[in-house]
Amino acid sequence: MKILVCISHVPDTTSKINFTDGDSKFDTNGVQFVINPNDEFGLTRAMWFKEKQGASVDVINVGGAETEPTLRKALAIGADSAIRVNTPATDGFQVAKELAKVVKDGGYDLVIAGRESIDYNGGMVPGMLAELTDANFVTNCISLEVDGTNATAVREIDGGKETVSTALPLIIAGQKGLVEESDLRIPNMRGIMMARKKPLTVLEPSTSSSETTTVKFEKPAPKGAVTLVDADNLDELVNLLHNEAKVI
């Protein structure tokens, strides 16, 4: 089984979110970048397929050279090789088109992506990729088993979960549950050394289209201070929620 894991290069959750160039660009100054958490669950599941079922695992990112350390980290965790499509990721549709070309050319059986990136939160690349490559698709995936060309997946739905049967070629958008937090791997020294020698192929983009354009970023208005209510005066809390906040 040939697996491709899509890796978004995102600012660490604790990063300060600021913008530059007239608020049109994310300010990367002093920001630590990491593998998108939803993608990391998928990568870890891919490692399981590699170890238990002999799958090969490539990782891919669409982005500039600055994303390579994040791909090297994925290689250090255990992926066999990495691909970077050398173009800034500006829109989900554009990224999906770039990935579709690589998926078709590479003959991948299974593509694992995250349900969304924690920076743009678009949540669209995996679904678009599935439609562009005519593959089966399961989103919000919290469990995946593959047996030959058949697959069983569990999707989180509003208020519960749904088990589906499907087949390769398959694209999933994964999240926590695909593996547990405790299963995530921290690269060890040997992995890091090996990652330096693993292939990282840079491909030039195949499309120049972009369907959406970011005009500007805004930060939410600063929040007012909390109103503290005495623990012995909960009538006041009920009163505030009813008369001031009007939520009960």
When binding is defined by CB under 8 A, the residue of 88, 152, 192, 198 that contacts another protein is 152
Kindly identify the residues of this chain, within the stretch 175-194, that bind another protein according to CB under 8 A.
Answer: 175-177, 180-182
CB closer to another protein out of 192 and 240: 240
Q: How many CB atoms lie within 10 A of CB 28?
A: 13
**What pairing do the DSSP bridges indicate for beta strands 170-174 and 136-147?**
parallel
Residue type, 76: A
Q: Which amino acid is at 161?
A: K
Reduced to 3 states (helix: H, G, I; strand: E, B; else coil), residue 79 is coil
The reply to whether 206 sits near another protein by the rule CB under 8 A is no
Return the structure tokens found at 216: 């500007």
The smaller minimum CB distance to another protein, of residues 76 and 95, is found at: 95
When binding is defined by CB under 8 A, the residue of 127, 187, 191, 205 that contacts another protein is: 127
**Which position has the token pair 């173009």?**
87
The distance of closest approach from Cβ of residue 242 to another protein in the complex, given in angstroms and rounded to an integer, is 7
> How many Å apart are CA 75 and CA 87, to the nearest integer?
21
Smallest distance, another protein to C-beta of residue 161, A: 5
Residue 248 in contact with another protein, rule: CB under 8 A: yes
Structure tokens at 177: 């549950």
Q: Among residues 59, 71, 125, 179, which is the contact residue for another protein, using CB under 8 A?
A: 125
* 222 scored as a contact of another protein (CB under 8 A): no
Q: Which of residues 88-117 bind another protein (CB under 8 A)?
A: 91-93, 96
147 makes contact with another protein (CB under 8 A): no
Side-chain-facing half-sphere of 123: CA atoms under 13 Å: 7
Residue 71: Cβ within 10 Å count:
24
Query: Is 38 one of the binding residues for another protein (CB under 8 A)?
Result: yes
